[in-house]
Amino acid sequence: GAGVSQSPRYKVAKRGQDVALRCDPISGHVSLFWYQQALGQGPEFLTYFQNEAQLDKSGLPSDRFFAERPEGSVSTLKIQRTQQEDSAVYLCASSSAATVGEQFFGPGTRLTVL
Amino acid sequence: KQEVTQIPAALSVPEGENLVLNCSFTDSAIYNLQWFRQDPGKGLTSLLLIQSSQREQTSGRLNASLDKSSGRSTLYIAASQPGDSATYLCAVPPGNNNDMRFGAGTRLTVKP
């Protein structure tokens, strides 16, 4: 596609529910990133994929967070047993570079946990 | 650990003014620095990417400079317009990793 797309754009979950957030990167982009953005803050890194390999998951806040990119294109960020502190905007970005390069962001998914 | 700071946190100017947004980072061993714009409820739009070997990049009314040795970058906006109102974020990748470290942003309001 022309840009990075994410779905859903908005998600409301009851505490304890599992959620799955989807990212479609720019076609052909090797690298894919997930970020979490709290209100009034800059994005915080969660995890990074190069093709289907998850090379860095150091930013995932707990073992309730899981990300995958099985075919090296679409990625899913899953949050199990959601908590109120998980409420944030989850941003996905992709890059054509296998090393450090310009990142292009999707519109984000706003997750609200009640 | 790379820390990125942006000053000021918020800025309000009348239309037509030239303005400067500041970004500082603690680890000068960066590969590049990227400036983004974020509108309320939206994702990030890339404005300018400066490679570590470059001093500045220009796009239209925007000019970004980079001084690695002092750990600073500035974003200069000429002849500001109400449509420039948004939050501006700077980000750097730490070391040779790919994840970006972001500042908290400068929220700009340009009044007609």
Looking at the complex, does the CB of residue B96 fall below 8 Å from at least one CB of chain A?
Answer: yes
pLDDT mean over A84-110: 88
- The nearest CA of chain A is from the CA of B44 a distance in Å of 6
- Give Cα B62 distance to the centre of its chain: 10
Q: What is the pLDDT of residues A7-31, one digit of tens each?
A: 999 999 999 999 999 999 999 999 9
User: What are residue A112's DSSP bridge partners?
Assistant: A12
Answer whether B24 touches A (CB < 8 Å). no
Chain A residues within 8 A of B103 when measuring between CB atoms: 42
Q: What is the DSSP string of B40-104?
A: TTS-EEEEEEEETT-SEEEETTEEEEEETTTTEEEEEE-S--GGG-EEEEEEE-BTT----EE--
DSSP string, B34-54: EEEEE-TTS-EEEEEEEETT-
- In the predicted model, is pLDDT for residue A39 greater than 70? yes
Position A87 scores a pLDDT of 97
pLDDT single digits (tens) B14-55: 999 999 999 999 988 888 899 999 998 888 999 999 988 999
Whether chain A has a CB inside 8 Å of the CB on B51: the answer is no
Residue B96 has pLDDT above 60, yes or no: no
Whether chain A has a CB inside 8 Å of the CB on B52: the answer is: no
